[in-house]
Amino acid sequence: MERPGLWKLEPEVVTKPWGLVHQSAQDITGIQVGLGELWLASAQTGPGNYSNTVSDPVLRRTLAGLLEEAAAEGGAALRQLLGPRALRHLQENPHRGKTEAWYVRMAQGRTGVVAGPRTAEDAERLKEIIQTDGLRPDIESWSEEVRQLLGIIEPLKGGQVFMVPAGTLHTMFAVGPDSRLIIDELQQGYGEALLPTLSKILLVQDDLLSVQVHPDDATVAAAAEGRLSIRQNLQENPTVRVYDFGRRPGEYPDLGFRLTDPGAGLRLAEPLRVTVARGHACEVMMADPNLARNRHLLEAGAQADLGPRYGSYRVLHCLRGEVELQVPGRAMVLLRGETAFVPGCLEDDLRMMARTDCELFDDAFPDITVLSSFLGCRGVQAGQIEALLSPPRALPPQD
């Protein structure tokens, strides 16, 4: 494979029953379409999964296909695309579960999330309620006991960051016709995907997602290798739905509570912002051994690089403004809503030139030691770094 350049990715739009209503489509056709997910950077394959197409340059191939082609050529080609650290992770962990991280981009109306039961006894009681009485789709009708067992956290605020370790029983909701919940999500690339992370946006309007749980790496590996008998193919679909409010078949409460870890639970992270250079601030929003997201804030005219170098590919998503990405022999303009894949071999070479004030997400497979050193060298205290890497459990607000 020739040395790869910058790739712009086409988003994949996924409809969901709980999605944000596409008002223009409804006005014209009378048909309500719910935009539930926007997959921005994924190499997942198999039923129900999506891999983004490279739209610039026009390669007419998906990211998954390009990674598979590189893998067929050998380790050196795949190393160019993923970077040495990300490739080593794939080789050492051929079957992976699903840890997630959420950034609340927008919370309007009544919005909330579920943090999961905190003890084995609470989990057992919740399982009993779900398997006998079930849960009504109207959260207003949920008893105080159910609310406490689920660990409901509301209201949400824009800017909050949550870590969702594997084993966390969770859901999210936006209640009322004027409600909106927009979540930027970064998660593990699960199963045998050749991209260790997956970047997407979740959109919820006047509804709630299924109560669900995701397995950890060890569980997925055990199932894939035949050491554990599970009805669901966790390689292709690691989301185990415990309760889906009667929308679809395929609820597995026994399996879901078997995978639920009361010691996991939703975690509330505190992002750390540092000044890197004149006109360039870098906010480390979320970090875990499996994933990391920075946000670059650039003033018009500022020039910047990617900050901490991990030995990993990078996924850049423009939130605001206009930025030019430059590597030797290639330049690309990224506008609001656009996403670029930066191969690992170009991590050191990339330069960002802000044409206007702009913000970008920067996703990668991290080196936690490098990240900690990056923050420490810029005056961040050790206790703050530890709180970012091991955030406290998110707790329901006290009356």
Q: What is the pLDDT confidence band of residue 309, given thresholds at 50, 70 and 90?
A: very high
Q: Which amino acid is at 234?
A: L
Which 3 state secondary structure label does DSSP give 212? Answer: strand
- Give percent of the chain with pLDDT exceeding 70: 99
Burial 268-296 (b: 16+ CB within 10 A, else e): bbebbebebeebbbbbbbbbbebbbbbbb
Q: What is the largest CA-CA distance in the chain?
A: 63
Q: Is the pLDDT of residue 221 over 70?
A: yes
Taking the C-alpha atoms of residue 37 and residue 27, their distance in angstroms, rounded to an integer, is 21
pLDDT for the residue numbered 6: 96
pLDDT value, residue 33:
87
Residue 397 banded pLDDT, cuts 50, 70, 90: confident
| CA–CA separation, 268 and 359 (whole Å) | 23
More confident of the two residues 177 and 269: 269
CB–CB of 311/347 below 8 Å? Answer: yes
pLDDT higher than 70, residue 2: no
Quick one: DSSP state of residue 202?
E
User: What CA–CA distance (Å, rounded) separates 265 from 117?
Assistant: 7
Interior angle at CA 92, CA 87 and CA 95, nearest 5: 100
Checking if the pLDDT of 42 tops 70, the result is yes
**Residue 29 has what pLDDT?**
86
Tokens of 145: 């006991």
Compute the distance between CA of residue 187 and CA of residue 189 in angstroms, rounded to an integer: 6
Question: What domains lie within the chain, and their CATH numbers?
Answer: 270-389 (2.60.120.10)
Band (pLDDT 50/70/90 cuts) for residue 321 is very high
Report the predicted TM-score, pTM, of the whole model to 2 decimal places: 0.96
**Residue 23: predicted pLDDT:** 86
**What are 141-177's pLDDT values in tens digits?**
999 999 999 999 999 999 999 999 999 999 999 999 8
Instruction: Report whether pLDDT(398) > 80.
Output: no
Residue 218 has pLDDT above 90, yes or no: yes
pLDDT at 24 over 90: no
Q: What is the pLDDT of residue 64?
A: 97
Mean pLDDT of 211-217: 97
Segment 248-277 mean pLDDT: 95
Q: What is the DSSP letter of 170?
A: B
pLDDT for the residue numbered 1: 54
Tell me how far apart the alpha carbons of residues 23 and 36 are, in angstroms, rounded to a whole number. Answer: 14
Residue 399 predicted with pLDDT over 60: no
pLDDT of 12 > 80? The answer is yes
